Amino acid sequence: MRTPSATSIVAGVTMGMLVACGVVGSPVAPESVGVNPTIERQKKLEAFEEKQREAEEAAESAEPQPDPMLQGQDVNLPPLQPVGTR
């Protein structure tokens, strides 16, 4: 069995560090990083959510209102009667 020399160990560790310390992911444009682009994205998201809320409110107001006579039960059941006697 052959033992690795100090040079091969250092070379292996160095290669491992070079591979492991690389940049992860695709490059990002500098125009999309920072405070201003983040604020713009948040404003667009808030405007989109507001439009969704308005659409939901319009859909709710378009739904027919429930009949006030059916507030308790949906179906009137006959009175309870005994099933059998003992």
From the number of C-beta atoms within 10 Å of its C-beta (0-12, 13-18, 19+), residue 54 rates as: exposed
* 73 occurs within a structural domain: no
Model pLDDT for residues 31-84, shown as the tens digit of each residue: 888 899 899 999 999 999 999 999 998 887 776 666 665 555 566 777 777 777
Better-predicted residue by pLDDT, 37 or 20: 37
Residue 32: predicted pLDDT: 82
Residue 13 placed within a domain? no
Which candidate, 34, 36, 55, places its Cα nearest to that of 44? 36
Specify if 54 maps to a domain: yes
Q: Is 69 within a domain? A: no
- Structural domain containing residue 41: 32-61
Q: Answer yes or no: is 53 within a domain.
A: yes
Q: Is residue 57 part of a domain?
A: yes
> Is residue 77 in some structural domain?
no
Number of domains in the chain: 1
44: in domain: yes
